[in-house]
Amino acid sequence: MKIVIVIPTYNERENIKNIVPEIIKVTEEDLSNDYAVLVVDGNSPDGTGAAVEELSSEYPNVHLLLEPEKRGLGAAYIYGFKHAMEEMDADIIIEMDADFQHDPGDLPLFVQEIENGADYVIGSRFIKGGSISSEWPLTRKALSVGGNIFSKFVLGIFDVSDFTTGFKASRVKGFVDKIDLDNILSAGFAYKIDLLHKMHRSGAIFKEVPITFRIRDSGESKMEKSNALDSLKVVVLLRFRELKTFLRFAVVGFIGFLSDVTIFNFFLWQTNLSENRASNLSGFIAINVTFILNNFWSFDSRKMTQLKTIFKKAPLYYLISYVPIFFRSVILIPFALDLVRDTVLVANMAFILGIGLGLVWNFVFYSKIIWNGNNHG
Ligand SMILES: Nc1nc2c(ncn2[C@@H]2O[C@H](COP(=O)(O)OP(=O)(O)OP(=O)(O)O)[C@@H](O)[C@H]2O)c(=O)[nH]1
Ligand SMILES: [Mg+2]
């Protein structure tokens, strides 16, 4: 596999000169994979870029990606991720700092976990075996611990204990290459939370491995004071977006429900269709109405606009949506009528119960499969 280790730098001349040879030493031992180091430098005034160029003449698999200026950690990583995918054909991308806070000796472990089936490997400071150097300021430690608890509960992601670690490995095919990197919520440190959230929602298999987070070797911290507030904003915004989608989906569901019930009863009272047929037909009409409303409103940020995409997804949409309709028409309603005799009231009650179950079913499958953010048009 092709593994690209992306390292953002700003004024890290000494660190980068020391860490690259260590990375090369460790990765050279793995003969079955192909490694490259991609340093994304924010045009550091201390000459980090020149130091990387010198390193590349010594090590051909070390590359420099120069930014026009310092634009934030998130912006540097996004730039590096795109380059690693488009120009270097990466299968795995590793995020790592230049300042020796992350141990190059841990790299083989990250790769092994991906080889063993994980899609996203998180170097965690907060699981058994992981730690933060005791020299790290207490206030930063407290902020980190508090931020993690907050993120866990607000985002509802309970299988992650370190949301803001900078040491990670991601599988590209099917995961990073499906993420819309142009709309990441933060150009700074908080991009980490958005990326993690997107990987989680895409169904990636997560694996946390313990790391020891040391203090930086030399140079100054680029940690900005605004990072904590920015991270808080990203967590809240991510949750709110999901909630908004769900609330809109519920409103659409209610409109679908009203049309479904009205049409169902119209068939029952005005025609001599059986309950089963009436329920099937009203359901079919309702899923077409809800498709349009969901596409242009509930899931507007992931909407499909091209007919080609819509036709491609249509069979799956009908299949998913038809499951609860089939269930209520063929199982629930006949069962209820059998049990309590033939009344329109019983048919309606079973029908409504079927819609309630269908709402949950549909939301899960629509958001995971139909409007999963990978429609590209
Ligand atoms: N290109 C680029 N790199 C950056 C930027 N901000 C930080 N970095 C690099 O990103 C890595 C992480 O930044 P650090 O300042 O070490 O942040 P930290 O590890 O949370 O803080 P410390 O514990 O104080 O080191 C380092 O390699 C930095 O040089 C930026 O705006 N642009
Ligand atoms: Mg650091």
pLDDT digits (tens, 9 = 90+) for 235-249: 999 999 888 888 898
Closest CA to 348 of 286, 275, 288: 275
pLDDT band at 377 (very low <50, low <70, confident <90, very high): low
pLDDT of residue 27: 97
| Res 98 pLDDT > 80 | yes
Q: Which ligand is nearest to the CA of 77?
A: 1
- 374 confidence band (pLDDT: 50, 70, 90): low
* Ligand 1 pocket mutation, candidates 6, 99, 192, criterion most atoms within 8 A of CB: 99
Nearest CA to ligand 1 atom 13: 222
CA of 10 to the centre of ligand 2 (A): 11
Atom of ligand 1 nearest to the CA of 72: 31
**Distance from C-alpha of 9 to C-alpha of 11, rounded to nearest angstrom:** 6
Q: What is the pLDDT of residue 347?
A: 84
What average pLDDT is seen over the chain?
92
The per-type count for the chain, helices as H runs and strands as E runs, is 11, 9
Torsion, Cα of 69, 72, 77, 79 (10° steps): -40
Ligand 1, residues 52, 73, 220: which to mutate, most atoms within 8 A of Cβ?
73
Contact 130, 218 (CB under 8 A): no
Band of pLDDT at residue 28, cut at 50, 70 and 90: very high
Portions of the chain given CATH number 3.90.550.10: 2-224
Reported for 360-366, long-range contacts at CB under 8 A and 24+ positions apart, including other chains, are 361/320, 361/323, 361/324, 362/253, 362/320, 362/321, 362/324, 363/246, 363/249, 363/253, 365/320, 366/249, 366/294, 366/299, 366/317, 366/320
- Position 305 pLDDT exceeds 90: no
Ligand 1 centroid distance, CA of 152 (Å): 24
Q: Is residue 364 within a helix (H) or strand (E), and if so which, with residue range?
A: helix 344-365
> Residue 184 Cα, ligand 2 centroid: separation in angstroms?
22
Q: Lowest-pLDDT range, 163-172, 266-275, 319-328, 333-342?
A: 333-342
Inform me whether the pLDDT recorded for 212 exceeds 90: yes
Tell me if 329 sits within 8 A of 352, measured CB to CB.
no
Is the predicted pLDDT of residue 367 greater than 90, yes or no?
no
Query: Does the pLDDT value for residue 376 go beyond 60?
Result: no
Specify the amino acid at residue 183. N
The more confident residue out of 373 and 14 is: 14
Residue nearest to atom 22 of ligand 1 (CA): 221
CA of 350 to the centre of ligand 2 (A): 60
Enter the DSSP assignment of 204.
Answer: P
**Atom 18 (ligand 1): residue with closest C-alpha?**
223
Determine if the pTM surpasses 0.75.
yes
Question: What residue ranges line ligand 1, CB within 6 angstroms?
Answer: 8-10, 12, 40-42, 67, 70-73, 76, 97-99, 101, 166, 216, 221-223
Q: What's the topology of domain 2-224?
A: Spore Coat Polysaccharide Biosynthesis Protein SpsA; Chain A (3.90.550)
55 with 62: CB under 8 angstroms? yes
pLDDT at position 333 is 83
> What is the spatial distance between Cα 202 and Cα 175, in angstroms, rounded to a whole number?
7
